[in-house]
Amino acid sequence: MIASSSRRAPDAFDRFLAAAALAAGALIALRAPGFGDYPTDAGPALSAIAHGHIAGFFSHQPAMGAISLYVRAPFVILAAALHDSPIGLYRLGDLPCVLSVALVATWMARVAGRRGTSRPGQVLIVAICLGNPLMRDALYWGHPEELLTASFAVGSLLAACERRVVLAAVLAGLAVATKQWALLIVCPTLLVLERERIRAGLMMLAVAAGSTAPMVVANLAAFRHALSFISTPQPVTTVFTWIYPLSPTGTVRVSNIFGDQRSFIAHTVPGVVSTISHPLIIGLGVVVPLFVWLRRGRRLSGRAMLTSMALVFLLRCALDPGTMGYYHFPLLLTLVALDATSGRRVPTLGVLAFAGALTVLDRFPDYLSANLANAIYVLVSIVAAAALARELRPAPQPDDGPRRRDRYGRLHRFAAASD
């Protein structure tokens, strides 16, 4: 069954929480600690359009989908009109991406409130979504589009839980058109929408294709180059993956999408892993929810869907050789969504996810050796994956008596005779 609840008009507390979340999000965006890959990724396209060069915008297509460029363009144009610095253009362009997190956090807080979560618990939900170190990590490395994609993706899952078909489909299409990893949410969203699957699937396709079409039409060569770059994993293995202990140390050559290359000593990616890792991850996005759906009698509840997606997002990080800390942000939001839809008084899963992000992903790599930080990551992620997999096991059916066949040969249970 799909979780449902009556929607109500926002009260004074809801409005205050939303305003506080948006204000906090704006402060976070405008104080981004650095711009990382931005000058060699999204920066050239956004700088071009900020100064009125439309052709430059389409000829410098970065390693991401089009939606975050469309969303950020008006803000960088405003920053350029105000003669802001390059970091100022980046920070103002971050603003809509961070505010999307504030909006989905507020949405989850309202869902939690309708299901019985206390007001302090709702405040904690918003604080976890906006105050975790993964937000800062994504902004530091120049990838605010990851925050926008995660907001679209988890918003789509929440809308599917509430049987809001059009909203779920539109958000899923926007997520896919923002970052390609969002393909992982398509299968579970369609499974939980039951009889509306075909309509939802067509809307997802229309939104994703329609959003991408201008990039294809305006400069096909640039689009094909970006797609080829995205499809080729970088040859370096990070500590946030199960593959790290199996990766030899050597010289790696990492290039950005516009051709600049740098070399350094690091753990290299084994050849077979580079070939199969991304197709395997996309396959898990289909196999895991589909397996759960079949095991539960071709039905997928909202809770089971969110749990299966948490497992998929965790496996995505563990099996991708290039995982960065902020790759775990969709997992954190999904665990908070599980808390919200369950109506827990305190968002327990969100608190645990925040603690893990702060220690395992943020602090340990700075204070511990790479091997020890990876060993802790592997242990914690395996335990988390096992707990999520256990949660997905179907509840045992009560044995309410022996079974007999009817005249059509079908088995039926009948109550045991009373004494």
Using left for φ > 0, alpha for ψ between -120 and 50, and beta otherwise, residue 179 falls in beta
Instruction: Specify the pLDDT at position 50.
Output: 94
- H or E element in which residue 69 lies: helix 67-81
Query: What does the pLDDT read at residue 4?
Result: 47
The whole domain housing 112 covers 12-394
Is residue 395 over pLDDT 70? Answer: no
**Tokens 């979560």 belong to which residue?**
117
Q: Which residue shows structure tokens 């202990």? A: 245
- What integer pLDDT is reported at residue 101 of this predicted model? 98
Q: Strands 249-255, 411-413: parallel, antiparallel or unpaired by DSSP?
A: unpaired
Instruction: Read off the pLDDT of residues 209-257 as tens digits, 9 standing for 90 and up.
Output: 999 999 999 999 999 999 988 888 888 999 999 999 999 998 888 888 8
410 in a domain, yes or no? Answer: no
**353, 314 contact by CB (below 8 A):** no
11 token code pair: 């009260």
Higher pLDDT, 102 or 278: 102
Residue 327 lies in a domain: yes
Check if the beta carbon of residue 169 is closer than 8 Å to that of residue 203: yes
pTM for this predicted structure: 0.92
Residue 307 burial class via C-beta count within 10 angstroms: exposed 0-12, middle 13-18, buried 19 and up: buried
CA distances in angstroms from 414 to 63, 410, 411, 418, listed in the order given: 61, 13, 10, 12
Q: Which two tokens stand for residue 101?
A: 């997190």
Q: Which of 159, 113, 116 is nearest to 3 (CA)?
A: 159
Nearest alpha-carbon partner for 40 in 60, 57, 56, 55: 60
Q: Is 319 helix (H, G, I), strand (E, B) or coil?
A: helix
- The DSSP symbol for 356 reads H
Residue pLDDT, tens place only, 126-147: 999 999 999 999 999 999 999 9
Residue 186 lies in a domain: yes
Query: How do residues 283-339 score in pLDDT, each as one tens digit?
Result: 999 999 999 999 999 998 999 999 999 999 999 999 999 999 999 999 999 999 999
**Domain assignment present for 404:** no
6 domain-assigned: no
- Domain membership flag for residue 132: yes
pLDDT in tens, 11-21: 889 999 999 99
Number of domains in the chain: 1
Residue pLDDT, tens place only, 28-55: 999 999 889 999 999 999 999 999 999 9
Residue 399 lies in a domain: no
412, part of any domain = no
